[in-house]
Chain A
């Protein structure tokens, strides 16, 4: 904890927002430092196929797309550290970022930490993580060859995961708590036309059953209260994300759900010199392309902030 460096720009997060901000600030000669955390690439890297990112007419895996983002960012000289911000202290015209490994001083900060996957609110879930419960279909799907599995959720990730998992599983049952889906029609159509996919709506997972590995689940119907036990070997959870803003709560204002508040039409937070972009401040769109756009906005807002400060000094 002895290191104290001074940076022009520290960017927290290495998803589409953070890396786009890094590309723009690097091209502007600001020599950004990206603290990419323990999962570089953000949520997108668990997507088996991305079909809606402009410029890619053929589907591309989220991992590969983010790998390209990263290469492009490195090309412009951005620097990377695999560290996570634990706390930020505000000083006079300077921010002190504490990663637990080192302290870094920076003039400006871009928060692009994205969101983290929600877990099922079931006490037994952690026990079965890696033993039937998973949050990553592309990572763990192959372990479920010819097995019956559940996918919990109703958004794009859940529906894409369900379709992807039919490559391995004998049957995939989508369990969703609402009687409508947030997934886009194109994804829903793929799932509906897949003969290996079945649907249980509006049901929720009440309990996970098994000794050492998952052997089934107890489900409850949200309308009737009816419960049923169904056998399954795997449960893939894709029930949404929460913004990763905990480390910044004393630095910037957030809404009641933890989304960082930014001025309308900009990425400026309640603290001058701190900018937020991507899913950490976006409760509505939550798309990679939107996050990338936000990242660009944050870089431009930041440049303007730095130049206006310099003008005042002159």
Chain B
């Protein structure tokens, strides 16, 4: 169970809905560990400044995480968390392991447009 202030994705239906109903989506799939918590924190920090992006997290160990875990873009990943960026439900970027604020912002700006 993730103890963050982000909205969690807990079912496969929610995965579909969040991708289907939002143009720009960032999902971070991980655990409450030292590599994942910093990414969750960065997302919490950026939620206000990127209102055109939907931020969600997901527990890596629940069945609904199969969707992220089995994405071809994550096939070579060997470090938590798996962070995936969707534009119109399609994967436009994906990263493995810890990322800092600058790295996350670089992808958000590039794929979804700069912060408002």
Contacts and interface: CB of A to CB of B under 8 A. Distances in A.
Interface in B23-49: 31-38, 41-42, 44-45
A213 B96 CA distance: 11
Which among B41, B45, B78 has the greatest number of chain A C-beta atoms within 10 A? B78
Given A38-B38, A129-B97, A130-B97, A139 B79 contact: yes
Nearest to B77: A130
Contact of B79 (A40, A130, A212): A130
B58 interface: no
A41 interface: yes
Contacts of B76: 131, 212-213
Interface string A187-210: 000000000000000000000000
B97 to A, nearest CB: 3
B62 to A, nearest CB: 16
Contact of B78 (A38, A41, A101, A140): A140
Contacts of B79: 129-131, 133-134, 139-140, 143
A39 interface: yes
B54 interface: no
Nearest to B97: A130
Interface in A123-144: 129-136, 138-140, 143-144
B36 to A, nearest CB: 8
Contact of B95 (A63, A130, A132): A130
A140 B78 CA distance: 7
A136 B38 contact: no
Interface in A224-260: 233-234
B78 A144 contact: yes
Contacts of A140: 35, 78-80, 97
Nearest to A101: B45
A40 B96 CA distance: 21
Contacts of B45: 101
B33 A45 contact: yes
A132 B77 CA distance: 8
Nearest to B31: A139
A41 to B, nearest CB: 7
Contacts of A213: 76, 78
A82 B41 contact: yes
B64 interface: no
Nearest to B30: A139
A138 B34 CA distance: 10
A131 B79 CA distance: 7
B91 interface: no
B98 A46 contact: no
A39 B80 contact: no
A39 B38 contact: yes
Nearest to A233: B78
Contacts of A138: 33
Interface in A1-53: 38-41, 45-46
Contacts of B77: 130-131, 143
A133 B35 CA distance: 13
A135 B97 CA distance: 10
Nearest to B83: A130
Contacts of B95: 130
Given A131-B76, A212-B76, A39 B96 contact: no
A212 B34 CA distance: 24
Contact of B34 (A39, A101, A131, A234): A39
14 contacts: A39-B37, A39-B38, A46-B34, A129-B98, A130-B97, A130-B98, A131-B79, A134-B78, A134-B97, A135-B35, A136-B34, A138-B33, A139-B33, A139-B34
Given A38-B41, A39-B38, A134-B78, 5 more contacts: A45-B34, A130-B98, A131-B77, A139-B33, A143-B78
